[in-house]
Structure 1
Amino acid sequence: MKVNLLASVSGVSLLYLLAGLLPVQATPRVEKTQALKLSEKSAVFTTNNSYETSNNNSNKLFGNTELIASSTESKNQDSLSANNQQESTDLTVFASDDSSSPTTSESSSSLAQVTSVSQLSDVQPTDWAFQALQSLVERYGCIAGYPSGVYRGNRAMTRYEFAAGLNACLDRVNELIATATGDLVKKEDLTTLQKLQEEFSAELATLRGRVDSLEARTAELEANQFSTTTKLNGEVIISAIGATGGARGGNDPNIILVNRVRLNLNTSFTGKDLLITGLQAYNFLGGVTGEGSLQNSLGLSSDLLSASSARTSFEPQFPGVDAKTLSGINPNSLQLYKLLYIFPVADKLTLFAGTAAEVSDAFPAITPFYGEGQESISRFASLNPVVRVSGGTSGYGLASAAGFIFQISPQLDLRALYGSANANIPQRGADIQPGVSGTPLGSGVFGGSSVVAAQLTFKPTSSIDIGLNYANSYHEINILGTGLSSSDIGSLVGQGLNLGTPVKLNSVGGTVTWRFSPKIAFSGYGAAFFVDDASGAVDASTTFTSWMVGLHFNDLLKQGNNAGIIFGQPLYRTDASGQAQLAPANTNRAVPYHLEAYYRFKVSDNISITPGAFVLFNPEGNSNNDTTTVGVLRTTFTF
C-alpha cells in the first residue's frame, strides 16, 4: 500500500481508533455478517515497527504484525451473554462484500456509502462509540452501511472485511493529504527563486552589510549608553542685546553678548515617574546692587537686585547673586537650578517635590508666548505675574516645594504647591541692614519667606484654554519677588516702610488663549497683587495691577517660523492706603506700557534665531524716564 509518511501516522491513529488499543478476539464467521468482533479477552496485535520509510515512499503501516488467535472455543454471536456485550469494545467497519461469505438477500446487495451517522438507523447518540463513528463518517467518509440503513455494530467481522475497511480509510486519508498539500512549493518555484537570488545578489549583499553595520552600531550604543533610565537634553542660548533710552541724562549702554546654558537629566524609574536634575551656567551680571546689568546701565532698575521692566525672558531674576544668602555668583559658574521629582499615586493624582523648584514647573503655561529660548523676548510677556510672585520663576530654582496635580477631568485640572525659599537654612543670619539679615528670605521650611500657590486650568473647547491663579505669600522683606518692575523691591512705599518690613501678599490672576484659526491665537492675562504690612507695627497696603494682550502666529511665511505681537501694562501701583504711598518722591507717576514684536526663524530642528524688540513707554511708571527700546538677537540651540 503506497502512502506517504503523514498517511502512515494517520493510519496508526485510525487503527488505534478502530481497535481502541484493546486485544482482538478471533471468532468464526457468523452467518449473514461480515464483521470482526474486537474483544478485550483473547487475541492481541503485536507490532514490532509502527512504520517504515523508504526512498520510494513505500511505507509499511505495521512493519511485522502478527495476529495471535486464542485457543478458546468459538462462540456464536447469538450466544454472547449480556455481560460479554458490555465488556467488549464493539466497532464494526463495513467495507465490501466477501464472496467467500454466506450470502442472503441483504448481504448480497452492495453496501451503501453513508455521509452522516444519522443515516444509520440502529446507531443512537447514546451509544458509546457514537462519536468515533461520527468522525469516521463525516470527517473521513470511509464508513459504509447496509442498504437497509443499518450498521449492525454488534456483529462480528472477518479479517478480510477489516482489511478492506482499513484500506478504504487510508485511501480517504491520502486524498485529504493530496488536497492539503497540492499548493506547496514546486521544484519550478525553487528554481525561479534561485535565479532571483542570483540576479539580486549584489543588492542582497549590500543590504546584509547595512544590517550588520546597524547591529554593530546598536551594540556599541548599548555598551556605551549614558544610562538605561536617564535622558539628557539641553538648551544653549547666545544673544546680543542692545538698548536705548532709560533714565534722563544717562548714556545708552553698549551692546552686550550674553549666554545661558542648561543641561537637564530626565530620569524615570518606573516609566511613569520623572526626576528632573537641571544644571546651568550663565554670564549675566548684576549682583546685590545690580552693577553691570543692562537695566542698571539704563537707570531703570531698583537699587537692590536689579529688578526692572527692561529684563529679557531668559535672564535670571537675581543675576550674579544667590538671593538666599546674598553671596555672589561668578559668571558661567555651574549651578544646580532644578531638582524635582514627579510621581503618580493614583489615576488622577500626581505628587511632586523638590529642593530646587519653580512654580512654572507645576503650572502649565496658558499663553503661547512662553518659551524663554523660543518665544517672547521679554520677561513681561511670557507668564502671568501671579506665577512669578515670590520668586516663582527665579531662573535657578529658588524654592524647596511640594504639591499635587489633580486631573479632575480631561477638561479640568487643579494644581497647588507650598514653597519655602530658605528651607535649607537652620538659623537666621545677623542683620546687615535694619530688619534685613544675611539671609533676607528667612530660614527653615516654615520660618522664612513662603508661598502657597494654586492654578485651575479649564479647557471648555479644543480651541480655548483658561488658567485661574491664586497665590498667598509671606516675605521676610518688602519685595514682591516677581522681578518685573523696579517697584518690585520696596513694594510698600512710605514713611517707616523700609526694605526690612515683612509683607503679606494675596495675588489673583487669569490667563486665556483662544486659537480662532489653526495658525493664529489670541492670548491675554490680567493680574492683581494686594500687599499688606505683616509686622503689625504699621498700617499700610498697596495694590498692583498688570495686563497683557497679544496675537501669536504659527508657521508665519514658512513652516516652523513663529511670531508674536504683544501689548500691555507692566506692574503698576494703582492704589495705596494707610501709611503707604503710590510712588516714591520725585516720581512723575504715569501708566507704563509695553509693546513687543518678535519673529523666530527655524533654521533646523535644533537651531532657531529670533530677532525682536520691545518698547517701554513711561518705563517703571515714571514719565521722567525716556521711552526705552530693547533689541534682542537670540540664537537658541536645543539637543
Structure 2
Amino acid sequence: MKRNLLVSASGVSLLYLLAGLLPVKALAVKEGNNSKTISTTETLPQEILSFDGAIISEKVNNQIPFEQIFVTNEITTKAAVNEKQENAIASLNQSNQQLNKKPILTAQTPQFNQNQKQNSQQNTNSPGQVTSVSQLSDVQPTDWAFQALQSLVERYGCIAGYPNSTYRGNRAMTRYEFAAGLNACLERVNELIATATADLVKKEDLLALQRLQEEFKAELATLRGRVDTLEARTAELEANQFSTTTKLQGEAIFAVIGATGGAPGRENPNIILTNRVRLNLNTSFTGKDLLITGLQSQNFLGGVDGSGSLQQELGLTAPGVNLAASSARTGFEPQFPGFDPKNLSSKGANSVELYKLLYIFPVANKLTLFAGTAAEVSDAFPAITPFAGEGQEAISRFAGLNPVLRVSGGTSGSGLASAAGFIFNPSKSIDFRALYGNVNANIPRTAPDILPGVSGTPLGSGVFGGSSVIAAQLTFKPSDALDIGLNYANSYHEINILGTGLIANDTNALGLASGNLGIPVKLNSVGGTVNFRFSPKMSLSGYGAAIFVDDSSGRVNASTTFTSWMVGLHFRDLIKKGNTAGIIFGQPLYRTEASGDARLAAVGVRRETPYHLEAYYKFRVSDNISITPGAFVLFNPEGDKRNETTTVGVLRTTFTF
C-alpha cells in the first residue's frame, strides 16, 4: 500500500515542482463524507465537520472470505499451480486491491462527529465461520463428502464459531468453501498427531480424510496458493507501512484563474496559475482519539498591502494596509497570502508551513474535547451547506461557509489560532459545539507601534490578551432531509477589522472617516445555515448572517452593521456518478447601518447593494482526480456602483492521495 502511495505522491510532486518553478504575478492550495473507526474510513458527509481535508482513517476491507485466510495442513500436497489455481490467485489479487487504496479524507472521527450517520458494515458471520464465495453449490448436504466432513467437525471441533460445536448441514456449499472446512480438519488432526494424542484419532477418520483430500486435491492446492499470495502481500504491507498509528493523506490543487472588470480604468489582469498542496498526518493512539498534523505550501501572492494579488490588480482592495481582502477571492486562497498577520513577517511562495495541529479526544459517551495551537473555527463546526469544500465544491470564498465562521480569521487557511473547545451530542439529532480561540498565544509581548495604534504584532500578545473569539454552533436535524445550523461569535480585535477576508471593508470595519486602523473593536456575529435535500440528488441551501461592530476603545463613538445572505441549488451525481454542480446567488457582506462616528461608505463611493452569482461543475476523472470549471460574477463589487461588473473564471484540478 505504501509503495503505491509513494508512487502517487511522486507523480503529484513532479507536477507540484513544475508549478513551484513557474513565476506567478498574482495569486496562487473534510473533505465530505461517512466516518468510521480509525482503521476504516470513507469520504464524510458534507454536513459533518471537516478539518480542511484532514484524514481520519482509511477504508481497508479486512473481511476476507474464510477460505482465503485458512493455513493449509502440512500433510496437504503442494501441487503445481494449474490454470484453475492461477485464476483463483488472480481473483484474490483483485479482491485485495483495496489494500492499496489511499485514504481520502475529509477529516473527522466518529467521536468528534457523533451526529454523523453510521454506515459501517460488520461481518455478521461468527468468527471462523465458513462463508460463501460464489453461488455454485457443488457439495450438497446429502453428499457423502458433506456428511463425512460433518462427522469430523463434530468429533474434533475443526471449525470454530458454530453453536454447540455442531456443523450446520442445512445448505449446500461450493467446493472451495468445502475445501476450507476440510483444510481445517486436516490441520486439527495434524495437531493431535503432533501432540502425541494420535490415539484420539480413529483409523476410519484418517481414511475419510485421505479420501476427502484426494477428492478435493485441486481445491486444497488452490487455497494454498491463495494463502501464499495473501501472506506475501501482508508481509510487503508490514515492511513498507508508513506507521502503525498514523495515516497520511494529501491534496494538491492546481488552478488557472482569470478575471475581468474591477475598478474603473483598470486593465484586466493576466491569467495566472496557482497551486496549494497539503499533507495531513492523522494519528490515533487509542483508536478513539485523533492528532492532526498538517503541512501546506501555496504560491498565492499578496502581502500586507495586497501586492501582486488578483484583487489588487482588479483595484477592489482598500488602499493602504488592506490585508488583500476583496469579494473577488477564490475559496482555496489563504486569507493572508504572503505574510504572517501575527507579526507581519513575509512568507515566500511555496514555502512549507504548519497549518494544522489539533488533538481531539472523547471524555464521555456524548462529550468530546479538542485543543490545538494551529486551528480554525471551521475545524470544529459542521459546514451544513454542501457548497463547502475548497478543493471539490464552490470556487469562491463567498459561497463555501457562513461569514460568521470566518470572523476573526476563523477560516484563514493557515491555522491562525490556538483554540480549545468541546462537542456535546445529547441526541442523534442535536449537536452543540463551542470554542475559545486566540491568535497570539505564542507572543509574549506586544511589539512597538508601526502605525498609530497598530503595533508590529497587530493582533496583540498572550493566550488571554489581544484578539480573541468565543464561538458556538448548534446543529440540529428535524428530519433526515433537513439540517439547520445556528452560529454565534463574540470577538475582540486589537485593530479595526472584521477578519473575514471577504470584502475590502474587512479593514476599517467601523467605517471611520479617518480610516483609523488602530481602534480596537468588539464584534457580535449571528448567523444561520440551512440545507434541505428535497431529493436524493438535489438540495436547496442557504445562509444569513449579521455582524455588529462597536468601538472598544472609548476614543470614538461608532457602531456599524454588516449583513450577508446566500441561496443555492446543489446537484449530486449530475450526468455521471460522482459529479457535482452548484448554482449560487446572494449578497456579500455589506454595511447596512452606521451610527455615531461611523459612516456607511467612504467619500466618493456610490453605494449600491452588491450581488454574487456563481456556477460550477465538478466532474470526477477518477477516484483521486477531479476537474472543476466555474465562474462567479460580482455586481456592484464592494458595494460601489462605480466598479465594473467583475467576472472571475476558474479551472481547478484537485488531486487526492
What TM-score do you get using the length of structure 2 for normalisation? 0.68
1:408 CA displacement: 1.7
How many Å apart are 1:599 and its aligned residue?
A: 0.4
Letter in 1 for 2:431: D
CA contact (8 A) 2:513 2:602 kept: no
Matched with 1:391 is 409
Task: Report SS of the residue matched to 2:550.
Answer: strand
C-alpha deviation, 1:270, in angstroms: 1.0
1:25-64 matched pairs, under 5 angstroms: none
Instruction: Structure 1 unaligned segments of length 5 or more: list them.
Output: 1-180
The residue identity in structure 2 corresponding to 1:526 is G
Q: Which residue, out of 579, 590, 593, partners 1:572?
A: 590
Q: Tell whether 2:313 aligns with 1:293.
A: no
Q: Where do 1:194-593 residues align within 5 Å?
A: 194-197=214-217, 200=218, 208-303=224-319, 304-593=322-611
- What is the aligned partner in structure 2 of residue 599 from structure 1? 617
Q: 2 CA distance for matches of 1:249 and 1:574? A: 27
What letter matches 2:613 in structure 1?
A: L
Q: Residue 64 of structure 2 corresponds to which residue in structure 1?
A: none
Matching residue's letter, 2:232 = A
Q: Measure, in 2, the Cα distance between the counterparts of 1:423 and 1:448.
A: 9
Match of 1:43 in 2: none
The one-letter amino acid paired with 2:450 is I
> CA offset at residue 447 of structure 1?
1.1
Contact 2:625 2:653 in 1 (8 A): yes
Task: Give the 3 Å change call, closer, same or farther, for CA 567–435 of structure 1 in structure 2.
Answer: same
Aligned match of 2:634: 616
Write out per-residue CA displacement over residues 125-156 of structure 1, whole angstroms, 9 at most, x where no aligned residue: xxxxxxxxxxxxxxxxxxxxxxxxxxxxxxxx
How far apart, in 2, do the equivalents of 1:268 and 1:553 lie?
35
Count of residues in Structure 1 that have an aligned counterpart in Structure 2: 455
Q: CA deviation at 1:185?
A: 6.1
Distance in 2 separating the partners of 1:209 and 1:625? 72
| Bigger mean CA deviation after superposition, 247-256 or 215-224 | 215-224
Give the Å deviation of 1:496. Answer: 4.3
CA distance in 2, matches of 1:347, 1:214: 38
Q: Using the alignment, how far apart are the partners of 2:397 and 2:511 within structure 1?
A: 24
Q: What secondary structure is seen at the aligned counterpart in 1 of 2:406?
A: helix
Q: Secondary structure at the match of 1:372?
A: coil
Structure showing greater Rg: 1
2:647 partner amino acid: T
> 1:408 is aligned with what amino acid?
P
- Paired amino acid for 2:399: A
What one-letter code is carried by the residue in structure 2 that aligns with 1:588?
R
Q: Work out the CA distance in 2 between the residues paired with 1:322 and 1:364.
A: 27
- Code of the residue aligned with 2:315 in structure 1: it is G
Corresponding residue for residue 647 of structure 2: 629
In terms of mean alpha carbon deviation, does 184-193 or 286-295 score higher? Answer: 184-193
Q: Residue 212 of structure 1 aligns to a residue in which SS?
A: helix
CA drift of 1:188 comes to 7.9
CA distance in 2, matches of 1:206, 1:188: 21
Q: Deviations over 1:457-515 (max 9, x none)?
A: 01110110000000000000010000000011111112345011110000000000000
Map Cα deviations across residues 420-443 of structure 1 (whole Å, 9 max, x no partner). Answer: 011110100011111100000000
Tell me which residue corresponds to 1:85.
none
- Give the partner amino acid of 1:255: I
Counterpart code for 1:623? K
User: 1: CA distance between counterparts of 2:208 and 2:305?
Assistant: 90
SS of the equivalent of 2:364 reads coil
CA separation in 1, counterparts of 2:442 and 2:461? 7
- Shift in Å, 1:223: 2.7
Shift, 1:208, TM fit: 3.4
Summarize the Cα distance change of 1:619–1:196 in structure 2 as closer, same or farther, 3 Å threshold.
same
CA displacement at 1:211 relative to structure 2: 3.0
Shift in Å at residue 357 of structure 1? 0.4
Q: Indicate the RMSD between aligned Cα atoms, in angstroms.
A: 1.8
SS at match of 1:365: coil
Q: Aligned partner of 1:290: which letter? A: G
CA contact (8 A) 2:572 2:580 kept: yes
Distance 1:504 1:564 in 2: 35
SS in 2 for 1:214: helix
Given residue 302 of structure 2, which amino acid in structure 1 is its aligned partner? G
Change in 2 beyond 3 A, CA 1:190/1:344: same
Cα contact 2:548–2:561 (8 A) shared by 1: yes
* Deviations 1:312-351, CA, capped at 9 Å, x for gaps: 0100000011010100000000000000011111111111
Deviation string, structure 1 residues 87-111 (Cα, Å, up to 9, x no partner) = xxxxxxxxxxxxxxxxxxxxxxxxx
What letter corresponds to residue 221 of structure 1 in structure 2?
Answer: L
In structure 2, runs of 5+ residues without a counterpart are 1-200
Given residue 592 of structure 1, which amino acid in structure 2 is its aligned partner?
Answer: P
- Other structure's SS at 2:239 match: helix
Displacement after TM superposition at 1:365 (Å): 0.7
For 2:298, the aligned partner's letter is: Y
Aligned residue type for 2:303: G
**SS of 2:549's equivalent?**
strand
Superposition deviation, residue 575 in structure 1: 0.3
Letter in 2 for 1:435: G
Deviations 1:557-580 (A, max 9, x none): 110000000000000000000000
The DSSP-based 3-state class of the residue aligned with 1:223 is helix
Instruction: Give the partner amino acid of 1:543.
Output: T
Q: Percent identity?
A: 75
Cα displacement string for residues 270-305 of structure 1 (whole angstroms, at most 9, x for unaligned residues): 111111100000000001111111111111123321
CA distance in 1, matches of 2:498, 2:334: 16
* Separation in structure 1 between the aligned mates of residue 410 and residue 489 of structure 2, nearest angstrom: 10
Aligned to 1:388, the other structure's residue is in SS state: helix
CA, structure 1 residues 300+444, in 2 after alignment: closer, same or farther (shift >3 Å)? Answer: same
Match of 1:69 in 2: none
User: Deviation at 1:189?
Assistant: 8.1
Cα distance change, pair 432–282 in 1 and its aligned pair in 2 (3 A): same
